[in-house]
Amino acid sequence: MQSVLERELVVVTGKGGVGKTTISAAIGLLAAQRGKRVIVVEVGDQTRLPELFGHPPGQAGAESRLQERLSSISIDPDRALLEWLQTLGGRVSGRLLASSGTFQYFAAAAPGAKEMVSMVKIWELTQSRRWQRRAAGYDLVVLDAPATGNALGMLGSPQTFGAIARVGPVAGQAEHVRDLLEAPERTAFVAVAMPTDMAVTEALELQDGLRAKLGRTLDTVIVNGLLPQRFSAAELRLIDRASTDAADGASARNAGSAKSGRGAATARSAIKPTRRDTATDSALRRSAALAAKTVHDRARFQHNQLARLRRRDFAVAGVPFVWGAGMDLPAVERVAEQLGRRL
């Protein structure tokens, strides 16, 4: 199967706060490490990428170089509209181009204009011949798209515009964007989901939305923030006992003679209290066992959500929860390394 990194555009979306920006940055990094010239696109006044890579915040609408072969841009629809109109040359008056309210007129005339102009700019970034002749060319554009509903609105905007303007430059441009989005060999759709019931359900709804809007399906769902399943069955039996009455020194001593079987004997020897045991030790042991059990139960629930996705016809890639103070560049590098095994 063609890797998502081999396309012109990768659209990353999913529920709010599930890790779309983190995964977009990691995909960008991974593709750059594999020798591609990449740009990660932020929208909706988001400008997190330059800072994540240790640079000052980028200027809206301008391409910022993050590291070798990797850039980012936060799309400014106003600036993108002016750039686009300039390419139409003589057909648009200089006075119109100079007017700061150009976008407002355009937006008022056509709802969804902001989304359409953003999509046109994204299409432009995929082109080898850029609007500005000296601008860099990219092999891959990674779109850190808005959350599911808004992303579908944005991706469907060329269709809406195509229906309004059937001829002329706007119609032609809308068709170019649609061609890009509808071609599986050119555009990949990636959903990010945390391993929760709601986030997985939203990823499945996105699949339906994509089919209805663009006749496309998701290429990959990335399940982000997975906890590891650390314990063997035997360890779990021990934890189970330690988190209930057997962990308590007194009750373990009393209950000891009543228990039978190999599992119980192992559990008793592993947690057998010594003389020095105090009530505090027992309580601590029980709390630790309970914490281990809770983490295990959560990890098991998460893997059930993963199984829900694996029954579908898209690839599923897991990314572990990265422990630490926050998502910094080393953390994104770890996510990229993990994704590299699957993408």
Ligand X SMILES: Nc1ncnc2c1ncn2[C@@H]1O[C@H](COP(=O)(O)OP(=O)(O)OP(=O)(O)O)[C@@H](O)[C@H]1O
Give the footprint of ligand X on this chain (CB under 6 A). 16-22, 147, 224-225, 319, 321-322, 326-327, 335
Residue placing its CB nearer to Mg ion in the complex, 20 or 241: 20
Q: E strand or H helix at 12, and its extent?
A: strand 9-14
Q: Which is nearer to ligand X, 22 or 71 (CB)?
A: 22
Give the one entry of Mg ion, ligand X, none that residue 314 binds, where binding means its C-beta sits below a cut-off of 5 to 8 angstroms depending on kind.
none
CB of 290 to ligand X, least distance (A): 24
Q: Which two tokens stand for residue 121?
A: 């700019």
| CB of 144 vs ligand X, minimal distance in Å | 7
Least Cβ distance, residue 75 to Mg ion (angstroms): 14
User: Which residue lies nearer to Mg ion by CB, 49 or 292?
Assistant: 49
Classify burial at 152, counting beta carbons within 10 Å of its beta carbon; exposed 0-12, middle 13-18, buried 19 or more.
buried
Query: Which residue number is nearest to ligand X in terms of Cβ?
Result: 327
13 secondary structure, DSSP code:
E
DSSP bridge partners of 140: 38
Q: Contact, 130 vs 124, CB < 8 A?
A: yes
Report the DSSP beta bridge partners of residue 265: none
| Nearest distance, CB of residue 306 and Mg ion, angstroms | 22
Gyration radius of the chain's alpha carbons = 27
117 contact, one of ligand X, Mg ion, none, CB 5-8 Å limit per kind: none
Which of ligand X, Mg ion, none sits in contact with 41, Cβ below 5 to 8 A by type? none
Under a CB-based contact definition with an 8 Å cutoff, are residues 220 and 190 in contact?
A: yes
Biggest alpha carbon–alpha carbon distance for the chain: 95
- Asked whether the beta carbons of 23 and 190 are under 8 A apart, the reply is yes
Q: Quick one: what does residue 204 bind among ligand X, Mg ion, none, with the CB cut-off 5 to 8 Å set by partner type?
A: none
**Residue of 5, 11, 19, 21 that binds Mg ion (CB under 5 A):** 21
Distance of CA 226 to the CA centre of its chain: 13
Total number of residues binding Mg ion (CB under 5 A)?
2
User: What is the smallest separation between the CB atom of 39 and Mg ion, expressed in angstroms?
Assistant: 16
Which one, of 270, 268, 240, lies nearest residue 256 by Cα? Answer: 268
| Smallest distance from ligand X to CB 252, Å | 38
Cβ–Cβ < 8 Å for 244, 324: no
The listed partner (Mg ion, ligand X, none) that binds 18, CB under 5 to 8 Å by sort, is: ligand X
| 321 contact choice in ligand X, Mg ion, none (CB below 5 to 8 Å, kind-dependent) | ligand X
To which H or E segment does residue 188 belong? strand 187-193
d(CA 300, CA 339): 21
For ligand X, the closer CB: 16 or 172: 16
Residue among 122 and 267 whose Cβ is closer to ligand X: 122
* Region near Mg ion per CB under 5 A, out of 12-20, 151-159, 170-178, 180-188: 12-20
Q: Quote the least distance from Cβ 323 to ligand X, whole Å.
A: 7
Alpha carbon 99 to chain centroid, angstroms: 37
Applying CB under 5 A, the residues found at the interface with Mg ion are 20-21
